[in-house]
A and B are shown apart, each in its own frame.
Chain A
Amino acid sequence: MKKTIFAALLSLGALNLHAVLNEDVEVPYVPFEIKMGKHFDLVQANCLTCHSFGYILNQGKQSRSFWKEKVEKMVDAFKAPITDEDQSLITDYLAEQYGNGQP
Protein backbone atom coordinates (compact mmCIF):
# COMPACT_ATOMS: atom_id res chain seq x y z
CA MET A 1 0.00 0.00 0.00
CA LYS A 2 1.89 2.96 -1.20
CA LYS A 3 0.65 6.11 0.38
CA THR A 4 3.62 8.26 -0.33
CA ILE A 5 3.58 10.66 -3.15
CA PHE A 6 6.11 13.14 -4.18
CA ALA A 7 5.47 16.86 -4.32
CA ALA A 8 7.45 19.91 -5.22
CA LEU A 9 8.72 22.22 -2.57
CA LEU A 10 6.07 24.85 -3.00
CA SER A 11 8.16 27.94 -2.60
CA LEU A 12 10.86 26.64 -4.90
CA GLY A 13 8.31 25.49 -7.45
CA ALA A 14 6.86 28.96 -7.68
CA LEU A 15 10.21 30.67 -7.96
CA ASN A 16 11.93 28.31 -10.28
CA LEU A 17 10.06 26.27 -12.86
CA HIS A 18 13.06 24.02 -13.33
CA ALA A 19 13.43 23.22 -9.70
CA VAL A 20 14.79 19.75 -9.16
CA LEU A 21 11.90 17.79 -7.75
CA ASN A 22 13.32 14.87 -5.94
CA GLU A 23 11.64 14.49 -2.61
CA ASP A 24 9.09 11.87 -1.67
CA VAL A 25 6.13 13.30 0.21
CA GLU A 26 3.38 11.25 1.77
CA VAL A 27 -0.19 11.59 0.69
CA PRO A 28 -2.02 11.77 3.99
CA TYR A 29 -4.08 8.90 5.27
CA VAL A 30 -7.69 9.96 5.85
CA PRO A 31 -9.53 7.95 8.50
CA PHE A 32 -12.92 7.54 6.78
CA GLU A 33 -15.58 6.35 9.16
CA ILE A 34 -16.60 3.05 7.65
CA LYS A 35 -19.44 1.11 9.26
CA MET A 36 -18.55 -2.07 11.08
CA GLY A 37 -20.64 -5.10 10.26
CA LYS A 38 -20.72 -8.76 9.38
CA HIS A 39 -17.93 -9.66 6.92
CA PHE A 40 -16.17 -6.34 7.36
CA ASP A 41 -12.92 -8.31 7.61
CA LEU A 42 -13.38 -9.39 3.98
CA VAL A 43 -13.89 -5.80 2.87
CA GLN A 44 -10.71 -4.86 4.67
CA ALA A 45 -8.80 -7.75 3.14
CA ASN A 46 -10.07 -7.42 -0.43
CA CYS A 47 -11.03 -3.82 -1.14
CA LEU A 48 -8.28 -1.80 0.54
CA THR A 49 -5.63 -3.15 -1.82
CA CYS A 50 -6.88 -0.75 -4.49
CA HIS A 51 -8.88 1.99 -2.79
CA SER A 52 -9.75 3.72 0.46
CA PHE A 53 -12.97 3.30 2.41
CA GLY A 54 -13.92 6.77 1.19
CA TYR A 55 -14.37 5.28 -2.25
CA ILE A 56 -17.07 2.99 -0.81
CA LEU A 57 -19.02 5.28 1.47
CA ASN A 58 -19.01 8.21 -0.95
CA GLN A 59 -21.00 6.18 -3.50
CA GLY A 60 -24.10 6.94 -1.45
CA LYS A 61 -26.75 4.44 -0.43
CA GLN A 62 -27.34 1.95 -3.21
CA SER A 63 -29.35 -1.14 -4.06
CA ARG A 64 -28.08 -4.66 -3.52
CA SER A 65 -27.83 -5.19 -7.28
CA PHE A 66 -25.75 -2.00 -7.57
CA TRP A 67 -23.26 -3.30 -5.01
CA LYS A 68 -23.24 -6.75 -6.60
CA GLU A 69 -22.39 -5.14 -9.95
CA LYS A 70 -19.64 -3.03 -8.36
CA VAL A 71 -18.00 -6.06 -6.78
CA GLU A 72 -18.22 -7.90 -10.10
CA LYS A 73 -16.71 -4.91 -11.86
CA MET A 74 -13.72 -5.01 -9.52
CA VAL A 75 -13.19 -8.64 -10.49
CA ASP A 76 -14.07 -8.54 -14.21
CA ALA A 77 -12.77 -5.13 -15.24
CA PHE A 78 -10.06 -4.50 -12.65
CA LYS A 79 -8.98 -8.13 -12.19
CA ALA A 80 -9.15 -8.13 -8.39
CA PRO A 81 -8.59 -11.72 -7.22
CA ILE A 82 -11.69 -12.10 -5.03
CA THR A 83 -13.18 -15.58 -4.66
CA ASP A 84 -16.82 -16.16 -5.58
CA GLU A 85 -17.67 -16.78 -1.95
CA ASP A 86 -15.99 -13.58 -0.77
CA GLN A 87 -17.70 -11.63 -3.56
CA SER A 88 -21.09 -12.65 -2.30
CA LEU A 89 -20.24 -11.98 1.37
CA ILE A 90 -18.79 -8.57 0.52
CA THR A 91 -21.98 -7.79 -1.39
CA ASP A 92 -23.96 -8.76 1.72
CA TYR A 93 -21.90 -6.39 3.84
CA LEU A 94 -22.27 -3.50 1.37
CA ALA A 95 -26.01 -4.01 0.91
CA GLU A 96 -26.49 -4.18 4.66
CA GLN A 97 -24.34 -1.19 5.64
CA TYR A 98 -24.65 1.00 2.54
CA GLY A 99 -27.90 -0.27 1.06
CA ASN A 100 -31.03 1.70 0.23
CA GLY A 101 -33.40 -1.17 0.92
CA GLN A 102 -33.84 -1.97 -2.76
CA PRO A 103 -33.06 -5.48 -4.04
Chain B
Amino acid sequence: MSTETMATRPVVDAARIRAWLPKYGVYAAIVLLVVYNIFFTPYFATWSNLRIQLIQVAPIVIVALGMALVIGTEGIDLSVGSVMALAAAFIPLYLGYGVVAAILVALLAGVAVGLINGILVARVGLQPIVATLALFVGGRGLAVVISEGKLVDIRNADFLYLGSGDLLGIPVLVWIAALMVLVVGFVVRRTVFGRRLLAIGGNRPAAELAGLPVKRVLITVYVVCAVLASIAGLLSVARIQSSDASSVGLLIELSAITAVVVGGTPLTGGKVRVLGTVAGALLMQLVIATMIKHNLQPSTTEMVQAVIILIAVYVARERKTR
Protein backbone atom coordinates (compact mmCIF):
# COMPACT_ATOMS: atom_id res chain seq x y z
CA MET B 1 0.00 0.00 0.00
CA SER B 2 2.79 2.37 0.89
CA THR B 3 5.22 1.09 -1.74
CA GLU B 4 3.41 3.00 -4.46
CA THR B 5 3.55 6.28 -2.57
CA MET B 6 7.13 5.71 -1.65
CA ALA B 7 8.20 5.10 -5.24
CA THR B 8 6.56 8.19 -6.68
CA ARG B 9 7.70 10.66 -4.03
CA PRO B 10 11.12 12.02 -3.15
CA VAL B 11 13.31 10.18 -0.65
CA VAL B 12 12.49 12.51 2.24
CA ASP B 13 8.85 11.50 2.15
CA ALA B 14 9.67 7.80 2.09
CA ALA B 15 11.66 8.30 5.26
CA ARG B 16 8.79 10.24 6.75
CA ILE B 17 6.35 7.44 6.00
CA ARG B 18 8.71 4.97 7.53
CA ALA B 19 8.84 7.05 10.68
CA TRP B 20 5.07 7.64 10.61
CA LEU B 21 3.96 4.05 10.06
CA PRO B 22 5.09 2.46 13.33
CA LYS B 23 3.65 5.35 15.31
CA TYR B 24 0.28 5.79 13.65
CA GLY B 25 -0.10 2.56 11.68
CA VAL B 26 -2.40 1.04 14.32
CA TYR B 27 -4.74 4.03 14.22
CA ALA B 28 -4.70 4.01 10.41
CA ALA B 29 -5.57 0.31 10.42
CA ILE B 30 -8.46 0.94 12.83
CA VAL B 31 -9.81 3.79 10.68
CA LEU B 32 -9.55 1.66 7.54
CA LEU B 33 -11.35 -1.25 9.20
CA VAL B 34 -14.08 0.98 10.60
CA VAL B 35 -14.66 2.69 7.25
CA TYR B 36 -14.75 -0.67 5.51
CA ASN B 37 -17.23 -2.03 8.02
CA ILE B 38 -19.50 1.00 7.87
CA PHE B 39 -19.92 0.54 4.13
CA PHE B 40 -19.78 -3.21 3.71
CA THR B 41 -20.97 -4.79 6.95
CA PRO B 42 -24.68 -4.78 7.71
CA TYR B 43 -25.62 -3.67 11.23
CA PHE B 44 -22.06 -2.63 12.01
CA ALA B 45 -22.61 1.09 12.49
CA THR B 46 -25.26 0.64 15.15
CA TRP B 47 -25.17 1.75 18.72
CA SER B 48 -25.89 -1.75 20.03
CA ASN B 49 -22.99 -3.23 18.07
CA LEU B 50 -20.59 -0.54 19.27
CA ARG B 51 -21.79 -1.22 22.80
CA ILE B 52 -21.12 -4.95 22.55
CA GLN B 53 -17.67 -4.42 21.09
CA LEU B 54 -16.70 -1.93 23.79
CA ILE B 55 -17.99 -4.13 26.61
CA GLN B 56 -16.06 -7.08 25.24
CA VAL B 57 -12.82 -5.19 24.84
CA ALA B 58 -12.93 -3.34 28.19
CA PRO B 59 -11.41 -6.09 30.39
CA ILE B 60 -8.64 -6.72 27.85
CA VAL B 61 -7.83 -3.00 27.78
CA ILE B 62 -7.61 -2.89 31.58
CA VAL B 63 -5.29 -5.90 31.73
CA ALA B 64 -3.23 -4.61 28.78
CA LEU B 65 -2.64 -1.26 30.55
CA GLY B 66 -0.94 -3.05 33.44
CA MET B 67 0.94 -5.26 31.03
CA ALA B 68 2.16 -2.17 29.15
CA LEU B 69 3.62 -0.76 32.37
CA VAL B 70 5.38 -4.06 33.14
CA ILE B 71 6.69 -4.34 29.58
CA GLY B 72 7.89 -0.74 29.92
CA THR B 73 10.25 -1.96 32.65
CA GLU B 74 11.51 -4.66 30.27
CA GLY B 75 9.42 -7.24 32.12
CA ILE B 76 6.45 -9.41 31.32
CA ASP B 77 3.59 -10.70 33.45
CA LEU B 78 2.18 -14.12 32.60
CA SER B 79 0.12 -14.32 35.79
CA VAL B 80 -2.64 -11.81 34.87
CA GLY B 81 -5.11 -14.50 33.79
CA SER B 82 -4.58 -16.35 37.07
CA VAL B 83 -5.11 -13.11 39.00
CA MET B 84 -8.43 -12.64 37.20
CA ALA B 85 -9.36 -16.19 38.21
CA LEU B 86 -8.39 -15.52 41.83
CA ALA B 87 -10.49 -12.35 41.91
CA ALA B 88 -13.37 -14.28 40.35
CA ALA B 89 -13.05 -17.02 42.97
CA PHE B 90 -13.16 -14.58 45.91
CA ILE B 91 -16.18 -12.55 44.72
CA PRO B 92 -18.93 -15.10 45.52
CA LEU B 93 -17.22 -15.99 48.82
CA TYR B 94 -17.35 -12.44 50.16
CA LEU B 95 -20.39 -10.98 48.40
CA GLY B 96 -22.40 -11.90 51.50
CA TYR B 97 -20.46 -9.24 53.44
CA GLY B 98 -21.40 -6.59 50.89
CA VAL B 99 -20.23 -5.45 47.49
CA VAL B 100 -17.45 -3.27 48.87
CA ALA B 101 -16.02 -6.11 50.95
CA ALA B 102 -16.05 -8.49 47.99
CA ILE B 103 -14.32 -5.97 45.75
CA LEU B 104 -11.73 -5.17 48.42
CA VAL B 105 -10.88 -8.85 48.87
CA ALA B 106 -10.53 -9.29 45.10
CA LEU B 107 -8.24 -6.26 44.93
CA LEU B 108 -6.22 -7.56 47.90
CA ALA B 109 -5.68 -10.81 46.05
CA GLY B 110 -4.22 -8.72 43.25
CA VAL B 111 -1.97 -6.84 45.64
CA ALA B 112 -0.72 -10.12 47.12
CA VAL B 113 0.09 -11.64 43.74
CA GLY B 114 1.70 -8.41 42.56
CA LEU B 115 3.87 -8.27 45.67
CA ILE B 116 5.04 -11.83 45.14
CA ASN B 117 5.84 -11.20 41.46
CA GLY B 118 7.50 -7.88 42.24
CA ILE B 119 9.65 -9.25 45.06
CA LEU B 120 10.72 -12.24 42.96
CA VAL B 121 11.72 -9.92 40.12
CA ALA B 122 13.18 -6.97 42.03
CA ARG B 123 14.68 -8.52 45.14
CA VAL B 124 15.39 -12.15 44.30
CA GLY B 125 16.40 -11.14 40.79
CA LEU B 126 14.42 -13.71 38.81
CA GLN B 127 13.66 -13.14 35.18
CA PRO B 128 10.12 -11.74 34.95
CA ILE B 129 8.88 -14.55 32.72
CA VAL B 130 9.97 -17.20 35.25
CA ALA B 131 8.82 -15.25 38.28
CA THR B 132 5.33 -14.78 36.88
CA LEU B 133 5.20 -18.28 35.38
CA ALA B 134 5.08 -19.74 38.89
CA LEU B 135 1.87 -17.87 39.67
CA PHE B 136 0.52 -18.51 36.18
CA VAL B 137 0.75 -22.23 36.99
CA GLY B 138 -0.18 -22.06 40.65
CA GLY B 139 -2.56 -19.11 40.75
CA ARG B 140 -5.34 -20.58 38.68
CA GLY B 141 -5.01 -23.88 40.53
CA LEU B 142 -5.40 -21.99 43.80
CA ALA B 143 -8.44 -20.14 42.42
CA VAL B 144 -10.09 -23.42 41.41
CA VAL B 145 -9.26 -24.90 44.82
CA ILE B 146 -10.76 -21.88 46.59
CA SER B 147 -13.96 -22.04 44.55
CA GLU B 148 -13.97 -25.85 44.85
CA GLY B 149 -14.19 -26.00 41.07
CA LYS B 150 -17.75 -24.73 41.11
CA LEU B 151 -19.42 -22.29 38.74
CA VAL B 152 -21.35 -19.86 40.96
CA ASP B 153 -24.18 -17.67 39.69
CA ILE B 154 -24.06 -14.09 40.96
CA ARG B 155 -27.38 -12.41 41.76
CA ASN B 156 -26.32 -9.33 43.74
CA ALA B 157 -27.86 -6.47 41.73
CA ASP B 158 -25.41 -3.83 42.98
CA PHE B 159 -22.45 -5.91 41.93
CA LEU B 160 -23.97 -6.85 38.56
CA TYR B 161 -24.48 -3.12 37.87
CA LEU B 162 -20.70 -2.91 37.36
CA GLY B 163 -20.88 -5.39 34.52
CA SER B 164 -24.16 -4.67 32.82
CA GLY B 165 -25.30 -1.27 34.07
CA ASP B 166 -25.28 2.05 32.25
CA LEU B 167 -24.19 5.51 33.34
CA LEU B 168 -25.26 8.40 31.10
CA GLY B 169 -26.06 5.85 28.41
CA ILE B 170 -22.62 4.33 28.39
CA PRO B 171 -21.84 0.96 30.02
CA VAL B 172 -20.22 1.27 33.46
CA LEU B 173 -17.57 -1.18 32.32
CA VAL B 174 -16.50 1.22 29.57
CA TRP B 175 -16.39 4.17 31.98
CA ILE B 176 -14.12 2.21 34.29
CA ALA B 177 -11.80 1.18 31.44
CA ALA B 178 -11.67 4.78 30.18
CA LEU B 179 -10.87 6.03 33.66
CA MET B 180 -8.04 3.51 33.94
CA VAL B 181 -6.66 4.64 30.57
CA LEU B 182 -6.64 8.26 31.75
CA VAL B 183 -4.99 7.43 35.06
CA VAL B 184 -2.31 5.21 33.55
CA GLY B 185 -1.68 7.73 30.78
CA PHE B 186 -1.29 10.49 33.34
CA VAL B 187 1.03 8.39 35.49
CA VAL B 188 3.28 7.52 32.57
CA ARG B 189 3.46 11.02 31.13
CA ARG B 190 3.26 13.38 34.05
CA THR B 191 4.52 11.74 37.21
CA VAL B 192 7.95 11.09 38.67
CA PHE B 193 6.95 7.46 39.06
CA GLY B 194 6.27 7.23 35.33
CA ARG B 195 9.60 8.76 34.45
CA ARG B 196 11.42 6.41 36.83
CA LEU B 197 9.59 3.42 35.37
CA LEU B 198 10.73 4.34 31.85
CA ALA B 199 14.27 5.04 33.02
CA ILE B 200 14.49 1.60 34.64
CA GLY B 201 13.14 -0.09 31.52
CA GLY B 202 15.49 1.87 29.30
CA ASN B 203 18.67 1.17 31.19
CA ARG B 204 18.45 -0.49 34.58
CA PRO B 205 22.13 -0.25 35.57
CA ALA B 206 22.09 3.45 34.74
CA ALA B 207 18.92 3.95 36.77
CA GLU B 208 20.58 2.18 39.70
CA LEU B 209 23.68 4.34 39.39
CA ALA B 210 21.50 7.44 39.25
CA GLY B 211 20.13 6.45 42.63
CA LEU B 212 16.57 5.69 41.57
CA PRO B 213 14.62 3.39 43.93
CA VAL B 214 14.67 0.65 41.29
CA LYS B 215 13.38 -2.19 43.46
CA ARG B 216 10.51 -0.18 44.89
CA VAL B 217 9.40 1.05 41.48
CA LEU B 218 9.55 -2.48 40.03
CA ILE B 219 7.53 -3.96 42.89
CA THR B 220 4.95 -1.17 42.53
CA VAL B 221 4.65 -1.82 38.80
CA TYR B 222 3.90 -5.52 39.33
CA VAL B 223 1.38 -4.67 42.06
CA VAL B 224 -0.36 -2.15 39.77
CA CYS B 225 -0.45 -4.72 36.96
CA ALA B 226 -1.96 -7.39 39.23
CA VAL B 227 -4.51 -4.99 40.72
CA LEU B 228 -5.62 -3.94 37.23
CA ALA B 229 -5.96 -7.65 36.40
CA SER B 230 -8.09 -8.27 39.48
CA ILE B 231 -10.30 -5.30 38.50
CA ALA B 232 -10.69 -6.90 35.06
CA GLY B 233 -11.47 -10.18 36.81
CA LEU B 234 -14.24 -8.81 38.99
CA LEU B 235 -15.69 -6.86 36.07
CA SER B 236 -15.72 -10.03 33.98
CA VAL B 237 -17.61 -11.82 36.75
CA ALA B 238 -20.09 -8.93 36.88
CA ARG B 239 -20.52 -9.05 33.11
CA ILE B 240 -20.94 -12.82 32.75
CA GLN B 241 -23.05 -12.86 35.95
CA SER B 242 -21.28 -15.96 37.18
CA SER B 243 -17.90 -16.88 38.60
CA ASP B 244 -15.95 -19.73 37.06
CA ALA B 245 -12.33 -19.77 38.18
CA SER B 246 -11.30 -22.31 35.55
CA SER B 247 -12.33 -20.14 32.61
CA VAL B 248 -12.19 -16.45 33.62
CA GLY B 249 -9.20 -14.75 32.03
CA LEU B 250 -7.96 -17.89 30.31
CA LEU B 251 -5.20 -16.96 27.83
CA ILE B 252 -5.79 -13.24 28.45
CA GLU B 253 -2.05 -12.79 29.04
CA LEU B 254 -1.53 -13.49 25.35
CA SER B 255 -4.28 -11.06 24.26
CA ALA B 256 -2.88 -8.38 26.55
CA ILE B 257 0.70 -8.84 25.34
CA THR B 258 -0.59 -8.75 21.77
CA ALA B 259 -2.46 -5.48 22.39
CA VAL B 260 0.63 -3.90 23.93
CA VAL B 261 2.98 -5.03 21.20
CA VAL B 262 0.65 -4.21 18.30
CA GLY B 263 0.20 -0.80 19.92
CA GLY B 264 3.89 -0.10 19.45
CA THR B 265 5.35 -0.65 22.92
CA PRO B 266 8.66 -2.47 22.43
CA LEU B 267 9.33 -5.62 24.50
CA THR B 268 12.79 -4.22 25.20
CA GLY B 269 11.41 -1.67 27.67
CA GLY B 270 11.98 2.01 28.22
CA LYS B 271 8.83 3.03 26.42
CA VAL B 272 5.11 2.76 27.13
CA ARG B 273 2.46 3.75 24.62
CA VAL B 274 -0.79 3.93 26.55
CA LEU B 275 -3.07 5.07 23.73
CA GLY B 276 -1.29 2.69 21.40
CA THR B 277 -2.11 -0.15 23.78
CA VAL B 278 -5.79 0.80 23.74
CA ALA B 279 -5.62 1.00 19.95
CA GLY B 280 -3.92 -2.39 19.81
CA ALA B 281 -6.72 -3.97 21.83
CA LEU B 282 -9.37 -2.21 19.73
CA LEU B 283 -7.73 -3.30 16.48
CA MET B 284 -7.65 -6.97 17.49
CA GLN B 285 -11.27 -6.73 18.66
CA LEU B 286 -12.28 -5.08 15.37
CA VAL B 287 -10.56 -7.78 13.35
CA ILE B 288 -12.42 -10.48 15.26
CA ALA B 289 -15.74 -8.62 14.97
CA THR B 290 -15.28 -8.00 11.25
CA MET B 291 -14.52 -11.63 10.55
CA ILE B 292 -17.44 -12.87 12.62
CA LYS B 293 -19.82 -10.51 10.80
CA HIS B 294 -18.60 -11.91 7.51
CA ASN B 295 -19.11 -15.45 8.74
CA LEU B 296 -15.44 -16.25 8.70
CA GLN B 297 -14.46 -18.97 11.11
CA PRO B 298 -12.41 -18.47 14.28
CA SER B 299 -9.62 -20.43 12.60
CA THR B 300 -9.22 -17.74 9.95
CA THR B 301 -9.41 -15.02 12.59
CA GLU B 302 -6.56 -16.58 14.53
CA MET B 303 -4.37 -16.87 11.46
CA VAL B 304 -5.09 -13.24 10.53
CA GLN B 305 -4.25 -12.16 14.09
CA ALA B 306 -0.93 -13.98 13.80
CA VAL B 307 -0.11 -12.09 10.61
CA ILE B 308 -1.10 -8.74 12.13
CA ILE B 309 1.17 -9.34 15.13
CA LEU B 310 4.11 -10.16 12.88
CA ILE B 311 3.54 -7.11 10.66
CA ALA B 312 3.16 -4.76 13.63
CA VAL B 313 6.32 -5.98 15.31
CA TYR B 314 8.26 -6.02 12.05
CA VAL B 315 7.29 -2.41 11.33
CA ALA B 316 8.20 -1.33 14.85
CA ARG B 317 11.51 -3.18 14.61
CA GLU B 318 12.60 -1.13 11.57
CA ARG B 319 12.38 2.07 13.50
CA LYS B 320 14.54 0.80 16.31
CA THR B 321 17.42 -0.10 14.01
CA ARG B 322 17.34 3.32 12.38
- Asked if A pairs with B, the answer is no
Residues on A facing B (Cβ under 8 Å): none
